Amino acid sequence: MGMSRTLFLALETSCDETAAAVFDDQLHVRSSVVASQLKQHERFGGVVPEIAARAHLTQLLPVMEQALTDAQVALKDLSAVAVMNQPGLVGALLVGVSAAKMLAVTLDIPLFAVNHLEAHIYACRMTAQRDIFPCVGLVVSGGHTSLFHCHDALRFEWLGGTIDDAAGEAFDKVAAILDLGFPGGPAIEQCAKGGNAKAFPFPRSFLHEERLDFSFSGLKTAVRYKWRDLLDEGKEPTARLKADVAASFQQAVVEVLVAKCRQALKQTGLTTLAVGGGVTANQCFRAALEKMMAKQGGQLIIPPLSMCTDNAAMAALAVEKWRRGDSAPLDLDAEPLFQTAPHPRRMVKRPRKP
């Protein structure tokens, strides 16, 4: 089995997926197990933090045991434990952080803290199977829409992000307006397939501005008012009408995301774009990114879907920290936000000095 390699167990409980993975110091993923909480949150149309934390409590041990079984290793074989400790829902994060600290103490092995957003970009590094840094990194999901200048695997410089709703959150809310169900991303994409993306000229915030920020709240509100007006005018909420609204909304989100990636590449002078997070499952978004990057002559890296949505395998970023001897203290905290946040709704991390 080549047990001479350093084996890591990683835990992820930042939002509504309970995940565990085993990987080695060569970035070989031996197992990756994810338990979804979709059924628990579905009727609320979004993730309920209290429910998420309680679900992690019941799911974490079985998920961890499954990951060890799949990898054919025992606890005694582990050399290190990694955990996503920021950002995320504080109650959910605490479950994983507490378990990881307990394992580190009990097994007398080092603990490594992993930033969830940096891990999403590291999933691109794992997919490419080579160094991809420096690059522009975009994390776009239900909780985050963040652009980074990634100097290396562990040194990220904040370029910009959403000042209100995340892109995935906007998908969820618009899906609720159109009564399409939860989660909104797949529901909107499916509905939009038969629609006209030019039917409604929804707003595209900051599209032609230099700033690398996003805002989806106004777009969501515009969809709400347009839908209300259409119904007030006596329009039937037909599948065709919903498809046109969904397609027009989706197009607005995609155009802004792609434009900001293009601007970030131009401003940094970089040619590699690494994209992670659940919204990358959207085929319209992927196609637009591919078209833009082909035109720019740069390289686009998007992991397979299982590595785009929340998982613990992407915590293999811990291997980079292990190589540098950068382990975490045993009084490690769960940090729902980045360390510094000049904007109250914005998650910001200052770049470390080289």
Could you read off the pLDDT of 234-273 as tens digits, one per residue? 999 999 999 999 999 999 999 999 999 999 999 999 999 9
How distant, in Å, are the alpha carbons of 160, 202, 271 from that of 261? 10, 20, 11
For 99-108, the CB contacts below 8 A with 24+ separation are 99/11, 99/60, 99/64, 100/11, 100/332, 101/330, 101/332, 103/9, 103/75, 103/78, 104/330, 105/330, 107/75, 107/76, 107/78, 107/81
Kindly tell me if the per-residue pLDDT of 341 is higher than 60: no
Considering the domain architecture, whether residues 189 and 106 belong to the same structural domain is answered as: no
| Strand runs labelled E in 134-288 | 135-140, 145-152, 155-161, 272-276
What is the distance between the alpha carbons of residues 64 and 83, in angstroms, rounded to a whole number? 12
What is the distance between the alpha carbons of residues 23 and 255, in angstroms, rounded to a whole number? 37
Average pLDDT of the chain, as a whole number: 91
* pLDDT recorded at residue 338: 59
Q: Is residue 2 part of a domain?
A: no
Considering the domain architecture, whether residues 137 and 248 belong to the same structural domain is answered as: yes
Considering the domain architecture, whether residues 108 and 216 belong to the same structural domain is answered as: no
pLDDT confidence band for 347 (50 / 70 / 90): very low
pLDDT confidence band for 7 (50 / 70 / 90): very high
pTM: 0.90
Considering the domain architecture, whether residues 298 and 316 belong to the same structural domain is answered as: no
Considering the domain architecture, whether residues 154 and 74 belong to the same structural domain is answered as: no
Burial of 71-91, coded b for 16+ CB within 10 Å and e otherwise, reads bebeeeebbbbbbbbbbbbbb
Weakest mean pLDDT among 141-150, 172-181, 336-345 = 336-345
Residue 325, phi then psi, degrees to nearest 5: 70, 30
Residue 140, phi then psi, degrees to nearest 5: -130, 115
What is the distance between the alpha carbons of residues 33 and 68, in angstroms, rounded to a whole number? 10
* pLDDT recorded at residue 321: 97
* pLDDT recorded at residue 250: 98
Instruction: Determine the 3-state secondary structure of 87 from DSSP.
Output: coil
Closest residue by Cα to residue 327 from 6, 2, 3, 5: 6
* pLDDT recorded at residue 303: 96
* pLDDT recorded at residue 4: 66
Beta-strand relationship, 80-86 and 111-115: parallel
Considering the domain architecture, whether residues 140 and 272 belong to the same structural domain is answered as: yes
**Token duo for residue 218:** 């106004």
Structural domain that includes position 171: 132-304
Q: Is residue 223 part of a domain?
A: yes
pLDDT confidence band for 2 (50 / 70 / 90): very low
Kindly tell me if the per-residue pLDDT of 339 is higher than 50: no
Total structural domains within the chain = 2
Considering the domain architecture, whether residues 279 and 145 belong to the same structural domain is answered as: yes
**CA 303 to centroid of chain Cα atoms:** 12
Q: What is the CATH number of the domain that holds 205?
A: 3.30.420.40
Please write the tens of the pLDDT for every residue from 185-194.
Answer: 999 999 999 8
Q: Is residue 345 part of a domain?
A: no
DSSP class of residue 6 equals -
Closest residue by Cα to residue 22 from 335, 302, 303, 319: 319
Q: Is residue 295 part of a domain?
A: yes
**CA 172 to centroid of chain Cα atoms:** 15
Considering the domain architecture, whether residues 106 and 193 belong to the same structural domain is answered as: no
Please write the tens of the pLDDT for every residue from 324-333.
Answer: 999 999 999 9
* Cβ proximity of 67 and 32 under 8 Å: yes
Considering the domain architecture, whether residues 229 and 316 belong to the same structural domain is answered as: no
